[in-house]
Structure 1
Amino acid sequence: MHVINALSSNFYEVECADKPASMWDVFPGWNAHDRFGIVIYEPLAALGATHLIQLACMCFYDIKPMRRSERKVYPEMFAIHVGGWWGGHGNFDFWPPRREIQVSDDHREILGAINDFGITRLALPERPARDLVHRRKEEDCALDRLATSIFYSPTGRVAQPDFTIRSNNPRSERDVQRNINPVQLSEQGFAQLQKSAVPIKESDADFTPRQIELNVNVTAAMREQAERNRTALKVDGLITEGYRFVDPAQSLKCL
């Protein structure tokens, strides 16, 4: 499912400091060259940042509407898996395969990937800062470019959030469920996709094998826990996630 057609900016209700806000308050000054990146340390953790990922997608398209109607490109967003593959995110349009990479748990390698991707808007799990020493000039390289850093929680809600994002449309959960419970297409189903008048990523020969590869460390018990996490986020029947801003320089000490 391509977010161009599946999602809309008006699906999301943002609240900052208990006041109505917008996606432009989450990502102030977003421009056509911004790139979103998320760092992932455990299985299915990025599901806790579902609405943040989707909001970044909406910024990507709304800032340059021709991306929806003419070029129809995938959003410039990247997933950095640390220490293993923690679940495929192709359903969220992290595609083609180069958009998801695996690095070691060496903080220098993580920052190197952030710089290689040219990430300007960074999401990372809430973690304590450490006295990290990065490679020379790598922090300066990142800070010259990073406009926003945000803490997310694998459960979907950080302690003492600065802002919340609530979805008012159940369509925002479709890709979540496809991540938790991947559907294996039959040969007939795959053949039908390939006949589609509009090419879609699911018809790419390497899409399903790639998702299987990235899901190698995800167990049935982890999927069940992810389901419980999503259920716990419901407020008045709607999923509400909570996040906290972190100074970009501080965020690089939390890798």
Structure 2
Amino acid sequence: MSTANAPTAKTLGEIALSAAIKAVKDDDSAAFTATVALGLVMANRQVERAETDKDITEKANKATFRHFLKKYAVKGNIVWRDSDHILNRAMALKGKDREKAISDYVDGGKTANPDYAKPDKARLVDGLAKLRTWSFRLMSDVCVNHADQIRDIIALKASGADGQAQAEHFREFVKRQYGDSFAKLTQRLAKPASEKEKADPIDAIVKKAGDMTDAELTLLIARLEGLRLERASTAEEVDAAFGESPAEAPTLIPAERELEAA
């Protein structure tokens, strides 16, 4: 049988690259969905508070997150890093005893049973830490700048709209206001960098170079050129590993050509 028209088998590099791109894309989608979903849990709590004429506050968001952690943990999910053994001990209990143990596991504190309390200086597992950061930032911004969205949900509820319609209203608002991906949402909600962090790295290097001796300046230029050539070589190796044509080497400016010839 002729294999002239058979598709060329993918290399390991091509397979790995494709899988990595899909994984990153799926992770962004999952992170966005989870952040908006927890934001919606907080929004629902704010709706309940607003219906009783209570203020829309960030404190309520924090209380809601703790409640979420308990619901999450009671299903056997790890909340704190390196705490598997504690959660397993709590999950071995039944009924109210399990609920109390899980509450101690999440809240800790002096009144918690030490057999089930969270570890000292406990840190959230990475996924929950990311979810907490961005859902809090989302709902903090909603509470401060878009409280009308909470009132809109209250109006929808009063008009007879079901929970699904209320949820969809909130999701569409988030997409319009903050973007339809986790990357866009985090960029929109990112805190401004300090002036020191905003400093241009190239300007900083040039400023320091101005105080160097001629010998130090020549050495700096040589080392920078070495770094550039190393990166170009690495890029070619990576292209080759992923089955792509090596990128063309960048054209050297006159000063660089003189340095190479030296």
TM-score bracket relative to the smaller structure: under 0.3
- Larger RCO, structures 1/2 (Cα 8 Å, 6+ apart): 1
TM-score (norm 1): 0.24
TM-score (norm 2): 0.23
Higher strand share: 1
